[in-house]
A and B are shown apart, each in its own frame.
Chain A
Amino acid sequence: MSDDKVSLVIEGREVEAPSTASIIQAYSASGGQLVTNVGCMGQGVCGSCRCMVRREGSRDVTMELACETPVEAGMQVAFVSYFQPKRPHVYDLETLTGGWQILDAIDEVFPQAKSCRHCGGCDRACPRGLDVQKGVEYAVQGDVLAAKDVFSECIMCNLCTLACPERIRPNHLGLFVRRALAALTLRPVELMRRLRQIESGALTVDTSTVDAPRQERRP
């Protein structure tokens, strides 16, 4: 590992950091107050540290997760501060009682989805590189299993929602499809049997069985 230092600009401040540091580590080590735009600190699953990054020599701005992106010399970084848009897409999963309504439900809850103009903004915004636009298209067409797979690794950072000029809120659409599918179709047989055993009182737990310690063997 090299100990090279690089300098970059984070939130308008000039910062020096080891070249192996992530953006968020560099920001914190430089004394920046870290009370928001931070979460899992490196696992890349919470989506809280989303940021806009411009690399030296490039005019493009990319969306990345600050906890997973290593610093580079000349990088410019601005956090996309948390935002909680109003929820125009309100639904109650319990009112979905059968799979036959799923197409209507998608259209009813997310009416904007069918007017996607394929600008690709969501795809460019996704720090996970998901085929967001394709996922929206699958959902609109009713190919719910395909849509479910597209959004399987979505971390709900909301950047596609921010990027969509049609206000489709693609990640929430994807999650709606995923939730509906699980709630409507997942009925594992051994789980149903076990629930019946417990609820009928046929299965209980006897706490006295551990009175004598189980022999602990060598590791």
Chain B
Amino acid sequence: MIPYAEALAALRRAGGAYPMRDDGLAVAELLQRHHPDNIGGKPVPLAVGVNAGMLCQPEVAALLQTNALIDDVDIAGAETLNTDILVIGGGGAGCAAALTAAGEGARVILATKLLLGDSNTVMAEGGIQAAVGEDDSPQRHFEDTYTAGHRAADRDLVAQMALDGPDAIRWLIKLGMAFDTVEDRPFGGSLKRKTPGGATAPRILSYRDFTGLEMMRVLREAVGLHRGVQVMDRCPAVELLSDDRGGCVGAVVYSLEHHRFVLVRARRTILATGGSGRLHLNGFPTSNHYGATADGLVLAYRMGAKLREMDSYQYHPTGIAHPAHLAGGLISEAARSEGAKLVNGLGERFVDELKPRDVVASAILRECAEGRGVARDGQAGVFLDVPGLVREKPDVLASTLVSLAHLAAKCRIDPTEEPMIVYPTLHYQNGGVAIDGSGRASVPGLFCVGEVSGGIHGRNRMMGNALLDIISFGRRAGAKAAESATEPYASRAGIGHIHDWQRQLTLAGLPLDARGPHVFPAYGNFDLAADARLTARRAAAQGGRR
């Protein structure tokens, strides 16, 4: 590793004219040797459940194969609410589903672990893909997405999403979301477009470099103002409710405010719980929101929902590496999209910065593994040459990379003078619950939308496809789920399915005392059993004393 001062001197000597290093590795080989999916914890076959035998990242496998957090006795006598549609998760996908279902006349309860809008959506910076340009087409969008995902995605889901793109943008504009235009001419103007890594045409639409914030504040306000949606803040789902045929008929949520469980019975349940970055897989820092602990994934699998690509995760190339207390925070791909270069400790470029994210991240890890990284205060990474970009586009920080300027200030560096040090950060769960074109999982009554779902991004997601995915599939799931509004409720709603699950765990020799989902990261210092006084309740229910 090359000390910071020396690396900085090399960068400055090169003065923007960086030679490109080529070590002759083909893409497949680079990924095989350096991507964390391949060199981190070795994937293990799942021992129980509908995907038994499928390879899964080991830490995720351990979590998927945990016992339920609660038993029947814990929810005896709990308050029960009835609704047409239960949406779990208050990010972009959940809000899109809730708004669409309520717009169709369904009564919706939206339960969320933190507050409405607290999600990865609000943190998204770069933008949203939609093929609107004359030089672009939904066909290209489909092909780019499928190829970037290493041909592992469900083609029909990708094609449908690519065709949904323009309508998703119109829907967002109707809700009041702004997008950057060329020459600030809204009516009849042109949308500003950027090129995401791995794309054959500029396709990213954005609002400055806080597109997700603009999207989320509009969606949050629209949900909050909609009379058909009842929002339950601070109510994480801790188990799904099943009927006697194994279908999903709602969820058990835990009110953090009142320290008690509430049963929400619903005709259809839409899981929009997001991803799993806060599991810090392979010891990586994460760019993810605090709530991203894979809760929905665990609950859905326990109920029998099929998963896919559970061994594939995205490490975003440009996480902050220094200073240490900000490690993992994200520098948007917008910086590279605008032209910022990645430079190793020798003052060389080493990858085309606009290759797909897994390729760029692997290339950065290669530089660090082979000693060409930059070392500063015990942190390692490579340079993101923001000063070089500013020399080419002097007003770029003020006009488009506003968040980057803000971030540099937090790192206490002058971005016009000093490069940022970056290292890959755990960013996205590529796989998830397998769905159809309406977001339906393999369990009757259960829908999954957004990052919890799988099949859209294959084994690598392109920039801007997450924000499109949540709107496209969120709306479709909301509309499909709303069609059930006249059906009768299932006669039974309980957690009987966990007994079968516990039998499976025991047969596989897995412990019953490991419980999940985590609900909060370990550093949240939260223990559901203690918070809900479960031990005391269980003792009381069995006739013991408190």
Residue in B170, B176, B189, B360 whose beta carbon sits within 8 Å of that of A189 in the complex: B189
Which among B24, B290, B329 has the greatest number of chain A C-beta atoms within 10 A? Answer: B290
Contact (Cβ within 8 A) A179 B170? no
* Residue in B115, B162, B178 whose CB lies within 8 Å of A186: B178
Give Cα A28–Cα B233 distance, bound, in whole angstroms. 21
A198 interface residue (CB < 8 Å to B): yes
Interchain CA distance A54-B22 in the complex, whole Å: 54
Whether the Cβ atoms of A190 and B132 lie closer than 8 Å is yes
Q: Is the CB of B188 within 8 A of A189?
A: yes
The contact of B147 among A38, A43, A214, by CB within 8 Å, is A214
**In this assembly, does B324 line the interface, its C-beta being within 8 Å of a C-beta of chain A?**
yes
**Per-residue CB proximity of A84-112 to B under 8 Å, as 1/0?**
10010011111000000000000000000
Task: Say which residue of B147, B163, B181, B351 sits within 8 Å of A198 (CB atoms).
Answer: B163
B289 touches A40 (CB 8 A): yes
Residues of A within 8 A of B403 (CB): 43, 45
CB distance from A33 to the nearest CB of B (A): 5
Nearest chain A CB to B211's CB is how many angstroms away?
11
Let me know if B186 and A31 touch, CB within 8 A: no
Closest residue of A by beta carbon distance from B192 = A188
Q: Are B25 and A218 in contact (CB under 8 A)?
A: yes
Report if A172 contacts B (CB, 8 A): yes
Whether B225 pairs with A213 at a CB distance below 8 angstroms is: no
B370 an interface residue at 8 Å Cβ cutoff?
no
Per-position 1/0 for B212-226, Cβ under 8 A of A:
110001101110110
Q: Tell whether, in the assembled complex, residue B289 and residue A39 are in contact, meaning their CB atoms are under 8 Å apart.
A: yes
Q: Tell me how far the C-beta of B114 lies from the nearest C-beta in chain A, rounded to whole angstroms.
A: 6
> B280 at interface (Cβ–Cβ under 8 A)?
no
Q: Which residue of B lies closest to A90 (CB)?
A: B225
A residues near B222, Cβ cutoff 8 Å: 93
User: Does B166 lie within 8 Å of A194, measured CB to CB?
Assistant: yes
A-B interface contact total, Cβ < 8 Å:
215
The stretch of A7-15, A17-25, A118-126, A130-138 in contact with B is A17-25
- Distance of A187 Cα from B410 Cα, bound (Å): 37
Point out the residues of chain B lying under 8 angstroms from A207, CB to CB: 142, 155-156, 158-159
CA distance A46 to B402 in the complex (A): 16
Q: Which residues of A contact B220 (CB under 8 A)?
A: 156
Say yes or no for A80: interface residue by CB 8 A criterion: no
Residues in A with CB closer than 8 Å to B355 are 219
Q: Is B26 an interface residue (CB 8 A)?
A: yes
| Total residues of chain B contacting the partner, CB 8 A | 89
Interface residue B32 (Cβ < 8 Å from any Cβ of A): no
Q: Is the CB of A187 within 8 A of B188?
A: yes
Contact B117 A46 (CB under 8 A): yes
What's the least CB distance linking A214 to chain B, in Å? 5
Tell me if A219 and B190 are in contact (CB < 8 A).
Answer: no
Of the listed stretches B306-314, B428-436, B519-527, chain A binds B519-527
Is B102 interfacial (CB-CB < 8 Å)? no
Asked whether, in the complex, the Cβ of B186 is within 8 Å of the Cβ of A39, the reply is no
Query: Do residues A205 and B289 form an inter-chain contact, with CB atoms below 8 A?
Result: no
CB-CB nearest in chain B for A32? B525
A146 and B84 CA atoms in complex are apart in Å by 42
Instruction: Give, as a whole number of angstroms, the nearest-CB distance from B130 to chain A.
Output: 8
Residues B26 and A191 in contact, CB atoms below 8 Å apart: no
- What are the residues of chain B within 8 A of A181 when measuring CB–CB? 176, 178, 186
The minimal Cβ–Cβ distance linking B443 to chain A, given in whole angstroms, is 27
Residue A150 is within 8 A (CB to CB) of chain B in the complex: no
Q: Considering the complex, give the chain B residue whose CB is closest to the CB of A203.
A: B138
- Tell me whether A21 and B325 are in contact (CB under 8 A): yes
* Any A CB within 8 A of the CB of B330: yes
Chain B, 128-175, CB within 8 A of any chain A CB:
130-134, 137-139, 142-143, 146-147, 151, 155-156, 158-159, 162-163, 166-167, 169-170, 173-175
CB pair B118–A183 under 8 Å, yes or no, is no
CA distance A45 to B291 in the complex (A): 15
Tell whether A45 pairs with B410 under 8 Å between CB atoms, given A22-B325, A186-B179. Answer: no
Q: In the complex, what residues of B have CB within 8 A of residue A35's CB?
A: 234, 256, 520, 524, 526
Interface size in chain A (residues, C-beta < 8 A): 70
Q: When the two chains form their complex, are residues A43 and B218 in contact, meaning their CB atoms are under 8 A apart?
A: no
B27 touches A34 (CB 8 A): no
Main secondary structure of the interface of A (DSSP, over half): loop
Interface members, chain B 344-385 (any A CB < 8 Å): 351-352, 355, 359-360, 363, 377
B111 CB–A CB distance under 8 Å:
no
Q: Is the CB of B181 within 8 A of A188?
A: yes
User: Is B177 located at the chain interface by the 8 A CB criterion?
Assistant: yes
B190 touches A36 (CB 8 A): no
The answer to whether B525 touches A31 (Cβ under 8 A) is yes
Inside 8 A of A90's CB, which chain B residues have their CB?
225
- Beta-carbon contacts of A175-207 to B below 8 Å, as 1s and 0s? 100111111011111110011001000011111
Residues of A within 8 A of B151 (CB): 210, 213
A193 to chain B, nearest CB (A): 8
In the complex the two chains form, is A191's CB within 8 Å of B166's CB?
A: yes
B22: A residues at CB distance < 8 A? 218
* Cα–Cα, bound, A92→B176 (Å): 11
CB <8 Å contact, A45 and B213: yes
| Interface set, chain B 57-85, CB cutoff 8 A to A | none
Residue of B nearest to A185 (CB): B186
CB distance from B365 to the nearest CB of A (A): 12
- Bound Cα distance A35, B257 (Å): 10
B234 near A1 (CB under 8 angstroms)? Answer: no
B182 to chain A minimum Cβ distance, whole angstroms, is: 9
Contact B352 A219 (CB under 8 A): yes
Cα distance A185–B114 in the bound complex, in angstroms: 34
> Residues of A contacting B233 with CB < 8 Å?
82, 84
Q: Is the CB of A42 within 8 A of B326?
A: yes
Q: Give the one of A84, A154, A207 with max B CB within 10 A.
A: A207
Q: Mark B111-127, 1 if CB is under 8 A from A, else 0.
A: 00011011000110000
Once bound together, how far apart are the Cα atoms of A81 and B117, in whole Å? 16
Cβ of A155 within 8 Å of any chain B Cβ, yes or no, is: yes
User: 10 shortest A-B CB distances, which residue pairs?
Assistant: A179-B176, A205-B159, A207-B155, A185-B186, A34-B524, A39-B118, A182-B178, A188-B191, A20-B325, A183-B176
With A194-B132, A216-B26 given, name 9 new contacts (CB 8 A): A20-B323, A39-B115, A40-B118, A156-B220, A175-B221, A179-B176, A189-B188, A191-B191, A218-B24
- A residues at B contact (CB < 8 Å): 1, 18, 20-22, 25, 28-29, 31-36, 38-46, 48, 68, 82, 84, 87, 90-94, 148, 152-156, 172, 175, 178-183, 185-191, 194-195, 198, 203-207, 209-210, 213-214, 216-219
Q: List 19 A-B contacts (CB under 8 A).
A: A35-B524, A36-B256, A39-B122, A39-B289, A40-B122, A40-B290, A41-B289, A44-B406, A153-B210, A175-B221, A182-B176, A182-B178, A186-B181, A189-B188, A191-B169, A205-B163, A217-B27, A219-B25, A219-B355
